[in-house]
């Protein structure tokens, strides 16, 4: 399964090499050409059968993680977050460091030695450390040098009949959809962009979009799902099992309302489960792509993922299938009627 293989790769922002190599092997025979640009994006090109229009698909290869920032005299590793991670989830988590995948665990002062006020506070990342079993600072520095990348160590696991648990569902689910989309042919020229460094500022998408200069862009993402206890229903972002999630607005982008409505209509007409994202927090590559050149008609199609930006994200298989079907069906529909593409030029 593509998602299993993709999520088991490590690709902390700025170190997407393994993910990029895997994707290239999967797509090299599915497109007319591909290239890796100066920042590390993979941009695959599939020539259309007769249209002058350009459509961009985007999904980011990177995941949240950490970077080695120091070493203690006793061989413990100090670290900083790469991307947005909740400090509260970190104590006791397993990690792997560098290309050699040195095993480690995130540690903290034992609860038996904490004062009451310490136990009542959220432990900050600056007070945590990683234990790799080193006995000295020199040994730790050799095994995990300053600046080395650190990823969560988490296996892909089936949950129940229709769910999976894995790290990096944000956004390996999008990468999997893009690979599947390349297996089809369209009337327009298609640029499929696997971007880097989304988790630290949407950097790869900015470079890729300026290179492609698309007429419209669809961003395929793993997004927040908060249908859990102690969250009011009206505060749910998305609902697991309710299908592909369409975004109207988030922190970085105001999606094109016409394009969003078009996608919703395609979903309904083809019996694809679809929902709207109900919150405006977060952001994705759309935030940079939308502002490229004189502006790009942009929309996001997302897979709801519980516990996002953690080693135990959970998604529903049927939601992923809905996103894949909606993306490919919409592209085929655009090939037929071209109305959305023509309007993008007029606007």
Helix (H) or strand (E) segment spanning residue 308: none
Name which residue leads in pLDDT, 181 or 108.
181
pLDDT 10s digits, 255-313 = 999 999 999 999 999 999 999 999 888 889 999 999 999 899 999 999 999 999 999 99
State the pLDDT at residue 347: 37
State the pLDDT at residue 114: 63
Q: How confident is the model at residue 116 (pLDDT cuts 50, 70, 90)?
A: low
State the pLDDT at residue 289: 94
3-state class of 246 per DSSP?
strand
Instruction: Indicate if 65-152 has the same CATH topology as 2-63+167-346.
Output: no
Architecture of domain 2-63+167-346: 3-Layer(aba) Sandwich (3.40)
Contact between 22 and 172 under an 8 Å Cβ cutoff? The reply is no
Q: Provide the mean pLDDT of the chain.
A: 92
Percent of the residues in the chain that have a pLDDT greater than 90, as a whole number: 80
Pairwise CA distance, residues 313 & 19, whole Å? 18
Catalytic residue from among 148, 198, 199, 324:
198
Structural domain spans, the chain: 2-63+167-346, 65-152
Nearest of 61, 31, 59 to residue 301 by alpha carbon: 59
Asked if 221 is an active-site residue, the reply is no
pLDDT 10s digits, 213-224 = 999 999 999 999
- What mean pLDDT do residues 157-171 have? 95
State the pLDDT at residue 123: 83
State the pLDDT at residue 110: 67
* Predicted confidence (pLDDT) at residue 346 exceeds the cutoff of 50: no
State the pLDDT at residue 115: 64
pLDDT 10s digits, 57-104 = 999 999 999 999 999 999 999 999 999 999 999 999 999 999 999 999
3-state class of 204 per DSSP?
helix
Contact between 249 and 287 under an 8 Å Cβ cutoff? The reply is no
State the pLDDT at residue 252: 87
> Residues, the chain, total?
347
Domain 65-152 CATH superfamily? Peptidase M42, domain 2 (2.40.30.40)
């Amino acid at each position: 399964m593509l998602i299993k293989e993709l999520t088991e790769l490590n690709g902390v922002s700025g170190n997407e090499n393994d993910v990029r190599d895997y994707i290239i092997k999967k797509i090299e025979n599915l497109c007319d050409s591909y290239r890796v640009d100066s920042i590390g994006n993979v941009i695959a090109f599939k020539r259309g059968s007769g249209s002058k229009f350009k459509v961009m698909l985007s999904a980011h290869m990177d995941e949240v993680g950490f970077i080695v920032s120091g070493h203690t005299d006793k061989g413990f590793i100090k670290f900083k977050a790469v991307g947005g991670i909740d400090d509260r989830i970190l104590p006791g988590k397993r990690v792997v460091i560098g290309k050699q995948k040195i095993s480690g665990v995130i540690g903290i002062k034992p609860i038996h030695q904490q004062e009451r006020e310490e136990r009542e506070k959220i432990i900050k990342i600056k007070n945590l450390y990683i234990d790799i079993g080193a006995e000295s600072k020199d040994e730790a520095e050799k095994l995990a040098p300053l600046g080395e990348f650190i990823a969560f160590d988490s296996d892909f696991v089936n949950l129940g009949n229709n769910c999976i648990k894995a790290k990096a569902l944000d956004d390996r689910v999008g990468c999997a959809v893009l690979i599947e989309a390349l297996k089809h042919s369209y009337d327009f020229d298609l640029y499929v962009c696997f971007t880097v460094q989304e988790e630290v500022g949407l950097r790869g998408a900015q470079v890729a979009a300026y290179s492609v200069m698309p007429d419209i862009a669809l961003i395929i993402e793993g997004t927040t799902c908060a249908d859990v206890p102690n969250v009011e229903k009206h505060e749910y972002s998305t609902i697991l099992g309710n299908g592909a999630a369409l975004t109207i607005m988030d922190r970085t982008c105001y999606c094109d309302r016409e394009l969003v409505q078009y996608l919703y209509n395609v979903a309904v007409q083809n019996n694809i489960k679809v929902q709207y994202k109900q919150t405006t927090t977060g952001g994705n590559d759309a935030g940079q792509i939308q502002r490229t050149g004189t502006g790009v008609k942009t929309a996001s199609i997302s897979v709801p993922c519980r516990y996002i930006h953690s080693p135990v994200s959970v998604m529903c298989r049927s939601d992923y299938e809905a996103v894949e079907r909606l993306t490919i069906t919409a592209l085929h529909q655009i090939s037929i009627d071209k109305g959305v593409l023509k309007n993008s030029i007029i606007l």
